[in-house]
Amino acid sequence: MISGAIFDVDGTLLDSMPVWHNCGVRYLESIGVKAEPGLGDFLFTQTNASGAVYMVDHYGLDLSPEEVADGMSRDMENYYFNSPEMKEGAAELLDRFEDAGIPMTVATSTDKYLLDGAFRKLGIGHYFKAVLSCGDYGTTKGEPLIFNKASEVMGTDPSETWVFEDGLYAIKTASKAGFRTVAVYDKISSPDWEEMSMLADEHVDKLSDFIEIQI
């Protein structure tokens, strides 16, 4: 049974992970600092705020975490406000859930104002009862809080709520919290794809491949 759906955005609904993956590297280059290999992989698990704290501490930057976070946000604003792209099959699945009357929310690590801009540009904000950002709750997807909050908004039980994610750590968290999970393929997280596929209840190459819902 599907009572509700929680969608990640970057790498799940939007084809934005390549842009995010290199955001920290681009920012450091802009201030004359060379990034270490793997920085993008680490920042993938962080919010913008927690990633900024790491960069200040790790690279000894003479900047505040707020200044670093603002710098990376400005870099990403151009993408979200001007040229966001949905992943293949995403619009089709959103339409199917809406037609079935199944409530949907977003649970993301990205700052909400960026997604507000992207959703306006794409015209998809009407699908969701709420857009929840980890940064607003001082958490990451390593903890179940954001998924529980999304479920509360919809009034659904986790056991009947499906979480769509492209990140292994988020799928692990949602699964442990009792949610049903769908692993969504994204090139950036492809090294984890085998483990994600085994852990999640379902795995799909694109969102429109999800067939549990019948109209």
Q: pLDDT tens digits for 82-124?
A: 999 999 999 999 999 999 999 999 999 988 999 999 999 999 9
Whole-prediction pTM: 0.84
Does residue 173 register a pLDDT over 80? yes
Please report, rounded to a whole number, the percentage of residues in the chain having pLDDT higher than 90: 84
CA 68 to chain centre: 20
Structure tokens that stand for 167 in this block = 């990140």
Extents of the domains making up the chain: 4-16+85-209, 17-82
Can you give the pLDDT at residue 215? 43
**Could you report the per-residue pLDDT of 176-197, keeping only the tens digit for each?**
999 999 999 999 889 999 999 9
Secondary-structure class of domain 4-16+85-209 per CATH: alpha beta
Tokens 């690279």 belong to 59
Can you give the pLDDT at residue 213? 60
**Could you report the per-residue pLDDT of 114-164, keeping only the tens digit for each?**
999 999 999 999 999 999 999 899 999 999 999 999 999 999 999 999 999
Can you give the pLDDT at residue 48? 83
**What does CATH list as the number for 17-82?**
1.10.150
Query: Which candidate, 191, 203, 205, 196, places its Cα nearest to that of 40?
Result: 191
Q: Residue 42 burial by CB count (10 A; 0-12/13-18/19+): exposed, middle or buried? A: middle
